[in-house]
Structure 1
Amino acid sequence: MENNSLSRALFDPVDSQLKLDWPARQKICVGIAKGLAFLHEESTLKIVHRDIKSTNVLLDRDLNPKISDFGLAKLDEEENTHISTRIAGTMPSCYNREGI
C-alpha cells in the first residue's frame, strides 16, 4: 500500500510520520469500523478477524484503510452459539510481559 500501515503512520519517528489531522483520523477509524461490520454482518461468509491492531491496517494513497493479515481469522458459523473465551491475537509491542 502507498502509505504503508497505520502503525507506521502513527508511531514512526516524527520526521517520517504521515501528517494525520483529526478529519483524516476519523476517516480511518470509520473505515476500519465499516470494514469490520462488513466482515461480521454483510459478507456472505461471516468472518471474525481476531487480530485487529494498527500494524494490520494498511493505508492506500487516499488514506482509505484496508484490513490485512487474516491469519487468525475464524468463520462465524450461524449454528455455532457458544461464546469463545480463548485469547487469540498477538500482543501489541507497547505491552510488556505483565500487560502494562
Structure 2
Amino acid sequence: METCNLTEVMRSIHIGLLCVQHSPADRPSMSAVVLMLGGDGTLAQPNEPGFFTERKLIDASSSSSKQESCSVNEVTVTLLDAR
C-alpha cells in the first residue's frame, strides 16, 4: 500500500486553485509555481472560481414554493439514476 504526504497534496491543490483564477492577473507565473511547489512559504488565498453557479430561490410570495436551479450561462445539469 502506497502512502502520500497529505501536506504536499493539499499544497499542490492550493497551488492548482491559484493557477485557475478567473482573472489572469490573479494567476501566478510558471516560475512562481515552481518556487511554490518547492518551498514551504505561505500561499495566497484563491478567490471564488469564476464558474461558480448559485441556486436562485423564487420569491416566497409567488404561487409556487419550489426552488429553481439556474446558472448565468443557462446550462442545465441532468442527474442520472442507475436502474
TM-score by length of 1: 0.26
Whose relative contact order is higher, 1 or 2, with alpha carbons under 8 Å and at least 6 apart? 1
Give the greater-gyration-radius structure (CA): 2
